[in-house]
Amino acid sequence: MNRALRPLIATTLIFALAYVAAVLQYPSMLSTRVLGNFLTDNAFLGIAAVGMTFVIISGGIDLSVGAVIGFTTVLIATLIMWAGLHPFAAFAVALGVAALFGAVMGAAIHYLKVPSFIVTLAGMFLARGGASVLSPDSIGIKHEVYTAISRSYILLPGGGRLTVIGLVMLAVFAVGIILAHRTRFGSYVYALGGSETSAALMGVPVARTTVLVYTLSATLAGLAGIVFSLYTSAGYSLSALGVELDAIAAVVIGGTLLTGGYGFIAGTFIGVMLQGLVQTYIVFDGTLSSWWTKIVIGGLLFLFILLQRLVFSASSPKGKVFWKT
Amino acid sequence: MTAGDTPVVEARGIVKIFGQHRALDGVDFAVRAGEVHALLGENGAGKSTLIKILTGAYQPDGGEVLLNGAPVRFSDPLQAQGQGIGTVYQEVNLLPNRSVAENLFLGHQPTRFGIVQRKVIAAQARELLATYGLEIDVKAELGSYSVAVQQIVAIARAVELSGKVLVLDEPTASLDRNEVAKLFEVIGRLKARGLAIIFITHFLDQVFAVADRVTILRNGQLIGTRDLSALTATEVVRMMLGKDLAYDQRTLGVAESVQGPVRVEFRGIGRAGRVAPFTLSLHEGEVVGVAGLLGSGRTEMARLMFGVDASDGGEVTVGGRSVTIRNPQQAVAAGFGFCPEDRKLDGIFGELSVRENIIIALQAKLGWFRALNRDEQNEVAGRYAEDLDIRAANHDMPVKLLSGGNQQKVILARWLAIDPSFLILDEPTRGIDVGAHAEIVRTINRLREEGLALLVISSELDEVVAYSNRVVVMRDREMVAELRGEEITPAVIVSAIAENTGAKA
């Protein structure tokens, strides 16, 4: 068995066990209603986490994700409410700006040989600051498109609602899985995370791949911003504070190695859902402070980093070799 | 070369200059289809520079590279690979985190509507590796296989993408005997397919086992290209080390110089896989030279003596008293000094001043609580700088601005400052100019006269002969000979190194 699969299997097991335990305590948690809310409430986090998974597999990190989400919500709100743009036009502009922002960060990381941590930290301050300059106050978005989107959903058996933004997240995961595992671009991303020197010698377009990875991450953060603005019907410069860290946690809990080279998009999905489960449990309980979410996530994160250490530092199993002479 | 025997790849009059140093000086090199051509030379001979020029990693400053008779210029290794020259390095440059199949086809995966055809790739990978006599699960991570298998996967990829010339840069360095045999089988098959194979190694027996011709470089110069069938191991070693056997005289009656009592004795010191246990004693006022080819265990021996690597067993006595040496601190406390082979990497602190570089070992020996004040520092640095004639504008300039010879003297001064009783010099004259060369040799002789025990490792046989009272010869990580008195001549050393290396000696 591929040893990289082990953390993913562990995550899946933990999620299943935690869900069963929660359902035993609160039977009403086993409903499509709760599941639908899982998807809706975590849509923006899930979308951003897909981009983060690509970045981390490539051996980098993107700290600007939360700030880009915040900036995008403000940009969309100002474009719609102040400039009178149609929401879809505003979405297109926002995605374009986010993509360009990511491309510039990727180029800086590759060509200036600055660690991604530093470049995206600068990106974080820029985006967050830019959002505050656009508007320091929250801007409510009122538009018939927003009302229409928030009213439309697919009714699941049992009364659950699969909302548009939940669907967007599922689609992003589906495309992400194909992109990572079934395209040349995906194999280049894993190659970068494995060894940049080897990748370059093997003909991987290192510059293009690096730029594209950060472009992808920022674009998905932009999409997460759009989803967030649909979710809250507002644009606020301080929204989605610290979401990049939640996304990193989801990626790592999902079995992706922080040092790059190994990981699964599907694992990130479970990582996001696990965070959602903890939050939902706390809501059901009603007596616990919401900060318990952070404590549980912190504990899980620590557990998984330990687990990865064990799996990857143990001498790898030797493959069987048959020599024909 | 007869007509119709046009080389696949040819280098003509290659010149490569790094700063002041001519790494390659008018070197010619040609490889024919269907031959295994060994490229030999000691460190700094220019082998890797030549290979880097052939594979596009460097551009030559003079001369030209021809591929199938037409001049080519590669701007990077990818371009060379695209035109037919593939390279496999010692440290396999593939991706251990990806499957074998992906490593074989990365960047060239067959796709349909942008989706990689994984089944097709796996089937092709299995088929391809079968032609190399290898049957493995191609979907498993490359990193789960031994270096030998990774090596063959790398060869398969290089041949698949290039197909004319295969450069093997020390492929056998980390393989065991069986794996080397498998690799040679693969090389044999590729040779039969008409590939031109360039084989770089330090192991002479492997050269004789697998290669048809050999080209030998020394100090950036072409020494010659020969058919191996007409050569003996001794002749090869002589060409590599540049020893003209006619030149045989001993300098200055070194062997007869006065020797004191035993200063340091190493009994049964060794480390599995690095150096076989050896026993060696050094007297006061004695220089013991260490000769041997690169990779013979010379440097490993020095590292064990100084405690950089811990010995598996054995005993060290200094002045008759038993001491434990498991790390360099203990070695310094016992009065040892060590000038390592790679000055820039392991020796100097480039950013620090001459003064700081000189006093650092002394200060380390004294400990934190007895800091040398500025006057003491200046005094110590000044004394040794004058003693060794270190030429620096002032003692506060960064040591990296000094010439190689002066840097070497700074390191020497550093150890002399702790007043050592035993000094290890690993290649003290490498990469420094001829004038400084002579000065270092003079310094070694002077230190001997002052009663130090010295161990000097050098590839320059003339030098070893000039200053050594005794010479030990290393081969295959083992001390194989100890020469004294009249035996110390380049000819005897060369034959001691070459003995039993090839099928014929």
Chain A residues touching residue B103 (CB < 8 angstroms): 202
- ipTM, interface predicted TM-score of the complex: 0.85
Please give the pLDDT value at position B250: 47
Contact yes or no for B97 and A322 at CB 8 A: no
Please give the pLDDT value at position A179: 95
Please give the pLDDT value at position B249: 44
Angle at the Cα of B91 from the Cα atoms of B85 and B97, rounded to 5 degrees: 100
Chain A residues touching residue B153 (CB < 8 angstroms): none
| Residue found by looking up tokens 């979907």 in the block | B139
Residue B96 CB coordination number (10 Å): 17
Please give the pLDDT value at position A288: 81
| A197 Cβ under 8 Å from any chain B Cβ | yes
Check if the beta carbon of residue B447 is closer than 8 Å to that of residue B227: no
**DSSP 8-state code for residue B381:** H
In this predicted structure, the answer to whether residue B197 has a pLDDT above a threshold of 90 is yes
**Residues ≥6 apart with Cβ < 8 Å to B19:** none
Q: Does A281 map to a domain?
A: yes
Residues making up chain B, counted from first to last: 505
Mean pLDDT value of segment B422-435: 79
Contact yes or no for A201 and B77 at CB 8 A: yes
Domain that holds residue A282: 5-313
Q: Does A151 map to a domain?
A: yes
In this predicted structure, the answer to whether residue B502 has a pLDDT above a threshold of 70 is no
Mean pLDDT value of segment A227-252: 93
DSSP B8-32: SEEEEEEEEEETTEEEEEEEEEEE-
Q: How far apart are the first and last CA of chain A?
A: 28
Chain B residues touching residue A318 (CB < 8 angstroms): 144-146
Check if the beta carbon of residue A69 is closer than 8 Å to that of residue A224: yes
- Pairing state of beta strands B36-40 and B196-200? parallel
Residue B345, exposed/middle/buried by CB under 10 A (0-12, 13-18, 19+)?
Answer: exposed
In this predicted structure, the answer to whether residue B254 has a pLDDT above a threshold of 70 is no
Please give the pLDDT value at position B49: 86
Please give the pLDDT value at position B435: 65
Please give the pLDDT value at position A319: 67
Check if the beta carbon of residue B190 is closer than 8 Å to that of residue B88: no
Please give the pLDDT value at position B257: 59
Structure tokens at B241: 């080390």
Task: Report pLDDT digits (tens) over A9-39.
Answer: 888 888 899 899 999 998 888 888 888 988 9
Chain A residues touching residue B147 (CB < 8 angstroms): none
Q: Does A56 map to a domain?
A: yes
B93 vs B255, residue with greater confidence: B93
Task: Report pLDDT digits (tens) over A66-84.
Answer: 999 999 999 999 999 999 9
Question: Lowest-confidence range among A95-99, A269-273, B145-149?
Answer: B145-149
CA distance B167 to chain A (A): 14
Nearest Cβ partner for B135 among A182, A190, A324: A324
Task: Report pLDDT digits (tens) over B477-492.
Answer: 888 888 887 788 888 8
Q: What are phi and psi of A187, to 5 degrees?
A: -70, -30
* Residue of chain A whose alpha carbon sits nearest to that of B133: A324
Q: Which residues of B make CB contacts under 8 Å with A? A: 77-78, 81, 93-98, 102-103, 106-107, 109, 111, 114-116, 118, 130, 133-137, 140-141, 143-146, 149, 157, 182, 185
Question: Lowest-confidence range among A86-90, B21-25, B454-458?
Answer: B21-25
What is the three-state SS of A55-71? HHHCCCCCCCHHHHHHH
Please give the pLDDT value at position B1: 41
In this predicted structure, the answer to whether residue A212 has a pLDDT above a threshold of 50 is yes
Residue A201 CB coordination number (10 Å): 18
Closest residue by Cα to residue A191 from A201, A177, B144, B136? A201
Read off the pLDDT band of B4 (50, 70, 90).
very low
Dist CA A101 CA A90 (whole Å): 16
Please give the pLDDT value at position B434: 61
In this predicted structure, the answer to whether residue B321 has a pLDDT above a threshold of 90 is no
| A273 Cβ under 8 Å from any chain B Cβ | no
B68 vs B176, residue with greater confidence: B68
Mean pLDDT value of segment A171-191: 95
Paired with B279 in beta bridges are none
Check if the beta carbon of residue A255 is closer than 8 Å to that of residue A8: yes
Question: Lowest-confidence range among A152-161, B207-216, B428-437?
Answer: B428-437
Please give the pLDDT value at position B431: 67
Dist CA A12 CA A17 (whole Å): 9
Please give the pLDDT value at position B300: 87
Check if the beta carbon of residue A189 is closer than 8 Å to that of residue A58: yes
Which H or E element spans position A155?
strand A153-155
Domains identified in chain B and CATH numbers? 9-97+141-231 (3.40.50.300), 245-335+420-500 (3.40.50.300), 350-419 (no CATH)
The enclosing domain of A59 has a CATH number of 1.10.3470
In this predicted structure, the answer to whether residue A325 has a pLDDT above a threshold of 80 is no
| A320 Cβ under 8 Å from any chain B Cβ | yes
Paired with B9 in beta bridges are B31, B67
Q: Does A318 map to a domain?
A: no
* Residue of chain A whose alpha carbon sits nearest to that of B105: A202
Mean pLDDT value of segment B85-110: 88
Check if the beta carbon of residue B17 is closer than 8 Å to that of residue B23: yes
**DSSP 8-state code for residue A319:** P
Residue A50 CB coordination number (10 Å): 29
Please give the pLDDT value at position B246: 41
In this predicted structure, the answer to whether residue B2 has a pLDDT above a threshold of 50 is no
Q: What are phi and psi of B453, to 5 degrees?
A: -100, 130
Mean pLDDT value of segment A113-126: 95
Residue B483 CB coordination number (10 Å): 20
Structure tokens at B264: 């340091």
Chain B residues touching residue A322 (CB < 8 angstroms): 134-136
Structure tokens at B412: 């020497």
Chain A residues touching residue B140 (CB < 8 angstroms): 2, 319
Q: Does A320 map to a domain?
A: no
Please give the pLDDT value at position A47: 97
Contact yes or no for B137 and A320 at CB 8 A: yes
Please give the pLDDT value at position B248: 40
Residue B48 CB coordination number (10 Å): 18
Mean pLDDT value of segment B203-212: 87
Contact yes or no for B96 and A195 at CB 8 A: yes
Mean pLDDT value of segment A220-227: 97
Dist CA B366 CA A187 (whole Å): 55
Give the HSE-up count for residue B460: Cα atoms under 13 Å, Cβ half-sphere.
Answer: 18
In this predicted structure, the answer to whether residue B504 has a pLDDT above a threshold of 50 is no
Determine what percent of chain A is predicted with pLDDT higher than 90.
62
Contact yes or no for B106 and A202 at CB 8 A: yes
* Residue of chain B whose alpha carbon sits nearest to that of A314: B144
Please give the pLDDT value at position B32: 92
Please give the pLDDT value at position B505: 35
B440 vs A177, residue with greater confidence: A177
Task: Report pLDDT digits (tens) over B322-354.
Answer: 888 888 888 888 889 888 887 777 778 878 888
Task: Report pLDDT digits (tens) over A2-14.
Answer: 677 777 888 888 8
Contact yes or no for A195 and B114 at CB 8 A: no
> What is the pLDDT of chain B when averaged over all its residues?
84
**Substitution target from B99, B115, B116, B178 for chain A, most A beta carbons within 10 A:** B116
Read off the pLDDT band of A265 (50, 70, 90).
very high
Task: Count the domains in chain A.
Answer: 1
B127 vs A6, residue with greater confidence: B127
Structure tokens at B299: 């440097």
Please give the pLDDT value at position B133: 86
* Residue of chain B whose alpha carbon sits nearest to that of A205: B107
Please give the pLDDT value at position A318: 63
Please give the pLDDT value at position A99: 97
**DSSP 8-state code for residue A233:** T
Please give the pLDDT value at position B433: 65
Q: Does A323 map to a domain?
A: no
Contact yes or no for B107 and A325 at CB 8 A: no
Check if the beta carbon of residue B343 is closer than 8 Å to that of residue B360: no
Q: What are phi and psi of B234, to 5 degrees?
A: -60, -40
Dist CA B456 CA B468 (whole Å): 8
Task: Report pLDDT digits (tens) over B276-299.
Answer: 899 998 888 889 999 888 778 888
Please give the pLDDT value at position A232: 93
Q: Does A321 map to a domain?
A: no
CA distance B120 to chain A (A): 13
**Residues ≥6 apart with Cβ < 8 Å to B83:** B67, B72, B74, B162
* Residue of chain A whose alpha carbon sits nearest to that of B82: A203
CA–CA distance from B204 to each of B41, B200, B245, B296, B499 (Å)?
Answer: 11, 10, 20, 11, 11
At position B213, the amino acid (one-letter code) is R
Nearest Cβ partner for A201 among B93, B144, B149: B93
> What is the pLDDT of chain A when averaged over all its residues?
90
Task: Report pLDDT digits (tens) over A129-176.
Answer: 999 999 999 999 999 999 999 888 888 888 888 999 999 999 999 999
Dist CA A147 CA A313 (whole Å): 52
Q: Does A212 map to a domain?
A: yes
Buried b (16+ CB within 10 A) or exposed e, A102-140: bbbbbbbbbeeeeebeebbbebbebbbebbbebbeeebe
